[in-house]
Amino acid sequence: MIVRVLLFFVLSFTLVQGQSIVWTLVQPGVWKGTVGKPESYNLLTAAGATPNASALTRLGVADFPLPKPAIVAQLVDGKTYLRFPLDRTEQLYGFGLNFQTVHQRGRILNLHMDHFGGSDNGRTHAPTPFYVSSKGYGVFINSARYLTVYAGSAARKDSPDAPEAKDRNTDKSWTASPYSDAVEIVVPAAGVEFYVFGGPKPLDVVRRYNLFSGGGCLPPRWGLGFQQRVKSLNTADQVLAEAEEFEQKGFPLDVIGLEPGWQSKSYPGTFEWDKTRYPDPGGFLRVMKAKNIRTNLWINPYVAPSASIYNAIRPLTASHTVWSGVVPDFTLPEARRIFFGQLAKDGIEPGVSGYKIDEVDGYDSWLWPDVAIFPSGRPAEQMRQSYGLLMQRYSTDVYHQKNTRTYGLVRASNSGGASFPYVIYNDYYKHEDFITALITSSYCGVLWTPEVRASSTSEEWLRRFQTVVFSPLAMINAWASGTKPWSFSDVSKQVQDMALLRMQMMPYWYSEFAKYHFDGTPPFRAMSLEEGFLADVRTAVVNENLNDNPYALAIRREVKDQYMAGENLLVAPLFAGQKSRVVTLPKGNWYDFYTGELVGNGQQITATPGLDRIPVYVKDGGVVPMMPARLHAPKAGETVPIEVRYYGSKPGAYRLYDDDGETFNYERGQYSFREIRVTKNDRGIQGSISTAEPGKPNSVGAVTFVQMTK
Amino acid sequence: MIVRVLLFFVLSFTLVQGQSIVWTLVQPGVWKGTVGKPESYNLLTAAGATPNASALTRLGVADFPLPKPAIVAQLVDGKTYLRFPLDRTEQLYGFGLNFQTVHQRGRILNLHMDHFGGSDNGRTHAPTPFYVSSKGYGVFINSARYLTVYAGSAARKDSPDAPEAKDRNTDKSWTASPYSDAVEIVVPAAGVEFYVFGGPKPLDVVRRYNLFSGGGCLPPRWGLGFQQRVKSLNTADQVLAEAEEFEQKGFPLDVIGLEPGWQSKSYPGTFEWDKTRYPDPGGFLRVMKAKNIRTNLWINPYVAPSASIYNAIRPLTASHTVWSGVVPDFTLPEARRIFFGQLAKDGIEPGVSGYKIDEVDGYDSWLWPDVAIFPSGRPAEQMRQSYGLLMQRYSTDVYHQKNTRTYGLVRASNSGGASFPYVIYNDYYKHEDFITALITSSYCGVLWTPEVRASSTSEEWLRRFQTVVFSPLAMINAWASGTKPWSFSDVSKQVQDMALLRMQMMPYWYSEFAKYHFDGTPPFRAMSLEEGFLADVRTAVVNENLNDNPYALAIRREVKDQYMAGENLLVAPLFAGQKSRVVTLPKGNWYDFYTGELVGNGQQITATPGLDRIPVYVKDGGVVPMMPARLHAPKAGETVPIEVRYYGSKPGAYRLYDDDGETFNYERGQYSFREIRVTKNDRGIQGSISTAEPGKPNSVGAVTFVQMTK
pLDDT for A100-153, tens place per residue?
Answer: 999 999 999 999 999 999 999 999 999 999 999 999 999 999 999 999 999 999
pLDDT in tens, A49-99: 999 999 999 999 999 999 999 999 999 999 999 999 999 989 999 999 999
Which of B323, B361, B431 has the most A C-beta neighbours within 10 Å, making it the best mutation to test the interface with A? B323
For chains A and B, CB pairs below 8 A equal 244
Residues in chain B: 710
> Minimum mean pLDDT among A157-161, A387-391, A593-597: which range?
A157-161
Q: In chain A, which residues have their Cβ closer than 8 Å to the Cβ of B299?
A: none
- CA–CA distance, B395 with B421 (Å, rounded to integer): 10
Q: Which residue of A has its CA nearest to B262?
A: A169
Higher-scoring residue by pLDDT: A17, B13: A17
- Of A158, A267, A321, nearest to B157 by CB-CB distance is A321
Q: Are A259 and A232 in contact (CB under 8 A)?
A: yes
* Phi–psi pair at A265, nearest 5 degrees: -150, 150
Q: Residues of B204-218 as b/e, b for ≥16 C-beta within 10 angstroms?
A: bbbbbbbbbbbbbbb
pLDDT in tens, A296-312: 999 999 999 999 999 99
Q: In chain B, which residues have their Cβ closer than 8 Å to the Cβ of A78?
A: 78
Higher-scoring residue by pLDDT: A2, A346: A346
CATH class of the A221-524 domain in this structure: alpha beta
Q: What is the pLDDT of residue A701?
A: 97
Mark yes or no for CB contact B156/A319 under 8 Å: yes
Q: What is the pLDDT of residue A26?
A: 98
- Residues with pLDDT less than 50, chain B: 1-16, 537
Q: In chain B, which residues have their Cβ closer than 8 Å to the Cβ of A331?
A: none
**Cis before A281? omega within 30:** no
A375 in contact with chain B, both atoms CB, cutoff 8 A = yes
Terminal-to-terminal C-alpha distance of chain B? 85
Q: In chain A, which residues have their Cβ closer than 8 Å to the Cβ of B157?
A: 314, 317-321, 326
Q: In chain B, which residues have their Cβ closer than 8 Å to the Cβ of A261?
A: 169
- Of B5, B169, B184, nearest to A315 by CB-CB distance is B5
Q: In chain B, which residues have their Cβ closer than 8 Å to the Cβ of A80?
A: none
Please tell me the distance in Å from A601's CA to the nearest CA on chain B.
Answer: 38
Please tell me the distance in Å from B700's CA to the nearest CA on chain A.
Answer: 42
CA atoms within 13 A on the CB side of B7: 8
Task: Please check the confidence at residue A19 and state whether its pLDDT lies above 90.
Answer: no
Q: What is the pLDDT of residue B548?
A: 77
Interface subset of A 477-536, CB within 8 angstroms of B: 479-481
Q: What is the pLDDT of residue A535?
A: 57
The pLDDT > 90 percentage for chain A reads 91
- CA–CA distance, A203 with A567 (Å, rounded to integer): 12
CA B330 from centroid of its chain's CA atoms: 23
The residue-averaged pLDDT of A170-184 equals: 94
- Of A9, A157, A373, nearest to B16 by CB-CB distance is A373
Please tell me the distance in Å from B144's CA to the nearest CA on chain A.
Answer: 14
The residue-averaged pLDDT of A572-590 equals: 96
Q: In chain A, which residues have their Cβ closer than 8 Å to the Cβ of B359?
A: none
Q: In chain B, which residues have their Cβ closer than 8 Å to the Cβ of A108?
A: 364-365, 369
Mark yes or no for CB contact A454/B163 under 8 Å: no
Q: What is the pLDDT of residue B547?
A: 77
Q: What is the pLDDT of residue B365?
A: 85
Q: Which residue of B has its CA nearest to A338?
A: B1
Q: Residues of B546-583 as b/e, b for ≥16 C-beta within 10 angstroms?
A: bbebbbeebebebbbbbbbbbbbbbbbbbbbeeeebeb
Interface subset of A 681-700, CB within 8 angstroms of B: none
Q: What is the pLDDT of residue A670?
A: 98
Mark yes or no for CB contact A324/B188 under 8 Å: no
> Minimum mean pLDDT among A233-247, A357-371, A656-670: which range?
A357-371
Terminal-to-terminal C-alpha distance of chain A? 85
Q: Which residue of B has its CA nearest to A185?
A: B371
Which of A120, A177, A181, A321 has the most B C-beta neighbours within 10 Å, making it the best mutation to test the interface with B? A321
Which of B37, B121, B167, B427 has the most A C-beta neighbours within 10 Å, making it the best mutation to test the interface with A? B167
Q: What are the residue ranges of helices labelled H in A345-457?
A: 380-401, 431-440
- Of A76, A153, A324, nearest to B165 by CB-CB distance is A324
Point out which residues pair with B30 in neighbouring strands.
B27, B197
Residues whose CB falls within 8 Å of the CB of residue B298, separated by 6 or more in sequence, listed in order: B229, B257, B258, B259, B260, B262, B355, B356, B358, B479
- CA–CA distance, A98 with A439 (Å, rounded to integer): 9
B258 in contact with chain A, both atoms CB, cutoff 8 A = no
Please tell me the distance in Å from B120's CA to the nearest CA on chain A.
Answer: 13
- CA–CA distance, B389 with B386 (Å, rounded to integer): 5
Q: In chain A, which residues have their Cβ closer than 8 Å to the Cβ of B318?
A: 157
- pLDDT grade, residue A550 (50/70/90)? confident
- Of B108, B368, B376, nearest to A365 by CB-CB distance is B108
Axis crossing angle, helix A333-343 with helix A380-401, rounded to the nearest 10: 50
A604 in contact with chain B, both atoms CB, cutoff 8 A = no
Which of B158, B464, B547, B553 has the most A C-beta neighbours within 10 Å, making it the best mutation to test the interface with A? B547
The residue-averaged pLDDT of A382-400 equals: 98
Q: In chain A, which residues have their Cβ closer than 8 Å to the Cβ of B278?
A: none
Interface subset of B 159-198, CB within 8 angstroms of A: 162-170, 174, 176-178, 184-186, 188
Q: What is the pLDDT of residue A16?
A: 47
Long-range contacts, A589-592 (Cβ 8 Å, 24+) = A589/A619, A589/A620, A589/A648, A589/A649, A590/A617, A590/A618, A590/A619, A590/A620, A591/A617, A591/A618, A591/A619, A591/A620, A591/A622, A591/A647, A591/A648, A591/A708, A591/A709, A592/A616, A592/A617, A592/A618
Q: Which residue of A has its CA nearest to B305?
A: A165
Q: What is the pLDDT of residue A556?
A: 58
Mark yes or no for CB contact A167/B266 under 8 Å: yes
CA atoms within 13 A on the CB side of A607: 30
Q: For the domain with range B22-158+177-213, which CATH number is right: 2.60.40.10, 2.30.40.10, 2.60.40.1760, 1.10.8.870?
A: 2.60.40.1760
The C-alpha angle A474, A399, A637, rounded to 5 degrees, equals 70
Mark yes or no for CB contact A334/B1 under 8 Å: yes
Minimal CA–CA distance to B166: which of A304, A505, A417?
A304
Interface subset of B 408-447, CB within 8 angstroms of A: 427, 429
Mark yes or no for CB contact A373/B154 under 8 Å: no
Burial class (CB in 10 A: 0-12, 13-18, 19+), B302: buried
The residue-averaged pLDDT of A242-256 equals: 98
Which of B6, B15, B157 has the most A C-beta neighbours within 10 Å, making it the best mutation to test the interface with A? B157
Q: Which residue of B has its CA nearest to A454?
A: B547
Q: Are A221 and A506 in contact (CB under 8 A)?
A: yes
A314 in contact with chain B, both atoms CB, cutoff 8 A = yes
Q: What is the pLDDT of residue B540?
A: 58
A72 in contact with chain B, both atoms CB, cutoff 8 A = no
Please tell me the distance in Å from A324's CA to the nearest CA on chain B.
Answer: 5
- Of A169, A261, A372, nearest to B261 by CB-CB distance is A169
A268 in contact with chain B, both atoms CB, cutoff 8 A = yes
Mark yes or no for CB contact B371/A186 under 8 Å: yes
Q: What is the pLDDT of residue A540?
A: 59
ipTM for the complex shown:
0.93
Domain ranges in chain B are 22-158+177-213, 221-524, 622-707
The residue-averaged pLDDT of A639-654 equals: 98
